Amino acid sequence: MSFTERFVDADGFRIRYMEAGQGPALIHLHGAGGLHMTPAHDLLSRDRRVIAFEMPGFGDSAENTQSDGMEALASTMAAAVRALGIEVFDLLGSSFGAKVALWLAARHPNMVRALVLEGPAAIRPGGMRPPSGTAAEMAPFLFGHPDRVAPMPDPDPTVAAKQRRLVGRLRGPDQDAALEDRMRGLAVPVLVLFGTLDRVMPPEMGREYKALLPNSHLVFVYDAGHLIAAERPEAFAEVVGDFLARREAFVITRRETMIFP
């Protein structure tokens, strides 16, 4: 599936996004490294309309000095979705984007049908810092098996510095009491995914999400690191697609070819 680059104006920002597919809308909010398209986007777009946003302040967009917190960034992204004429959608948040997604779902629960959190960084071990450096230096942290993944390009130093400033300013405390309180009241079905080899966010953190979110499923994707969709796209798309199709009826993948212990 070929993704098309588009832009939408919302909340004072011109926001870039990539779109492909038809069917129920799936909105993706990326991690701290910015928007990177993966084969999992292509697989998911076979059955639904996938819209992957580049949030304000990331990529080639202007520096974002307007958003004063994750809750504000979530409101901006909700406005961007509405500007596309979409009132109800499924929502996928990866790492840093998972916290934005949680705030969006908490503030606008009637908009979100189902929520998927990939390697979420909304609740973090004390003192945890995101990996930085060249692509080669970050690869062992981001992937369980870097040798099996196509090498990532080195980030543009100016863009990388801009994104680090934004993430550092917005990410908030490791334990965000205000968000955790909202999570306890979130009724939408949630799928929490961790790679068993995640070296950025300890997979055992998944139990905290399971304890806080009343309608959640916790799945550990075997032999994957932090960037599950990039490292194991078929497994990622299989479990996410099954969850989005069945929501509360989701238990485990119906196919026997993928293993999610």
Taking each helix axis as running N to C, give the angle between helix 70-83 and helix 96-107, from 0 to 180 degrees, rounded to the nearest 10: 70
Q: Provide CB contacts within 8 A for 130, sequence distance 6+.
A: 32, 96, 121, 167, 200
Q: Is the pLDDT of residue 218 over 80?
A: yes
Answer whether residue 219 is part of any domain.
Answer: yes
At 252 the pLDDT is: 55
At 259 the pLDDT is: 42
Q: List the one residue out of 20, 29, 7, 31 whose CA is nearest residue 155.
A: 31
Q: Is the pLDDT of residue 152 over 60?
A: yes
Answer whether residue 135 is part of any domain.
Answer: yes
Task: Tell me how far apart the alpha carbons of residues 45 and 141 are, in angstroms, rounded to a whole number.
Answer: 28
Q: Is the pLDDT of residue 51 over 90?
A: yes
Percent of the chain clearing pLDDT 70 (strictly above):
94
User: Which residues form the domain of 170?
Assistant: 4-249
At 255 the pLDDT is: 43
More confident residue, 156 or 97: 97
pTM attached to this predicted model: 0.93
Work out how many domains the chain is built from and give that number. 1
Answer whether residue 258 is part of any domain.
Answer: no
**Residue 184 belongs to domain with CATH number:** 3.40.50.1820
The model's pLDDT over 243-258, given as tens digits with 9 standing for 90+, comes to 999 876 765 544 433 4
Answer whether residue 255 is part of any domain.
Answer: no
Answer whether residue 259 is part of any domain.
Answer: no
Answer whether residue 12 is part of any domain.
Answer: yes
The model's pLDDT over 172-184, given as tens digits with 9 standing for 90+, comes to 999 999 999 999 9
Answer whether residue 261 is part of any domain.
Answer: no
Q: Is the pLDDT of residue 127 over 80?
A: no
Backbone phi, then psi, for 107, in 5-degree steps? Answer: -80, -30
Backbone phi, then psi, for 118, in 5-degree steps? Answer: -100, 115
Answer whether residue 201 is part of any domain.
Answer: yes
